[in-house]
Structure 1
Amino acid sequence: EKGLKSIIVFGIPAEDTKDEIATPDYSSTGIVQKAVRRLKKETDLVVITDVCLCQYTSHGHCGMIVENDDTDDGIEILNDESLPYIAKVALSHAQAGADIVAPSDMMDGRVKAIRETLDENGFYNVMIMSYSAKYASAFYEPFRVAACSSPHAGDRKSYQMDPANAVEAIRECELDVIEGCDFLMVKPALPYLDVVRMVRDEFMLPLVAYNVSGEYAMLVAAIEKGFLTEKAILEALLSIKRAGADLIITNFAPYLLLNEMI
């Protein structure tokens, strides 16, 4: 009613339903699938769905794992073996009515796997918003706590990007373009404005910047303590837009709508 046009949907399954292969993630009766069907029935929203395994796996990682004593944390992420599961999730979201699927796992090759699976099942018009340059960031912490999706062992540095490496973002984006994505994304946004600009200058696809939970919490806390005023919200979001983002995913959307800023 306030003018919201699009949303991205994340799911939090019951803890006792999680397993090693993220079964509730691609179930037709999963929480995201139910939400998408209802949203498409009752609203005109463009519905984007987050495609990942971490919230649905018992181990909390974005891909399949095996024990490996040769690694520092005793586990190994299986990239290629994870792709069919990720594609199954995307397909289940498309079958529920999602307009856009957004893989956030950072497994190599997942855009190609999703595109092929969607096309084979007739979902040619469902678009892929790839988390192309997703950094292993400390700014995800509020979301991980809320979604109960922190890894039980190890971390995600083996498949998410090194914050010190900007050049890799271009390589990752290029691979996603080749594999058939429709949108590119940089995540987080504010600490990576230089990367947003680099990607904008290099590619012509629509560019999304994800203003993540830690960025939101940081500003809200400063405003609540009186260190900043609410004017800082729009200034921060304008900096993301100025850096070259076409779209911004942000928890500040309700604030902007309430104040008629978008």
Structure 2
Amino acid sequence: MSEHTAHRRVALVTGANKGIGRGVAEQLAALGMTVLVGARDPRRGEEAAAALRATGGDVHAITLDVTDHATARAAAEQVEERFGHLDVLVNNAGITGSGQVSPSEAVDQVPSTVDLAMVRRVFETNVFGVIAVTNAVLPLLRRSPAPRIVNVSSHAASLGLISDPDGPFAGLPPSAAYSPSKSALNALTVHYANELRADGVLVNAAAPGYVDTDSNNHTGFLTVAQGAAVVVRLATLDADGPTGGFFGADGPLPW
């Protein structure tokens, strides 16, 4: 491994061929990082990477299905072989479970009638997939002088906001899958942060906001760039930055 490669800042973003993940990849590349676009579909991943390279970024596709733990291990091996370390992990890949619908239409997640198979699918991606990928690349993050992990969460993860009868979620259908999966992700964030604090790994959860993406059938009011900004901010924290926190664009959010 050359001296140049050893000091290159490398970021891996899961689910980065579209939406918020792609926006994060674009912004990290603009900051001079080498960015690995994780995608289940190799063709879509390469198309996204090529488009970002065309804007001047050092961006490469890597095949990664977070629900297939073998691909997580294979991706980690590829990163080690090519770069020898990893500086930033953005666990962005996630599913709503309800398809491309707005939150007001996700009536299939009402707890008393929810399909357990759907709940399992959501947790497999949004929670278990994060553990699989994080643990696969953790040895590489430990080799970084400034390792950062950002878990892409949601305002819907906040028990404080969800339980407020006058809050932003009042009147929306209850969720037994997506929202609880993001609450679990927040809990994982805190526990990883506690474990890795002594190693200098800063681990935080980000809520991008209601972003215009495929996952909500483009009903969101924020642009991808706006939603990605808080993720990028947490991915590039200084050494004295927070860890074990949950942040939106305007600062800390209630658990």
TM-based fold match above 0.5: no
Which structure has more relative contact order (CA 8 Å, sep 6+)? It is 2
Give the TM-score taking structure 2 as reference length.
0.36
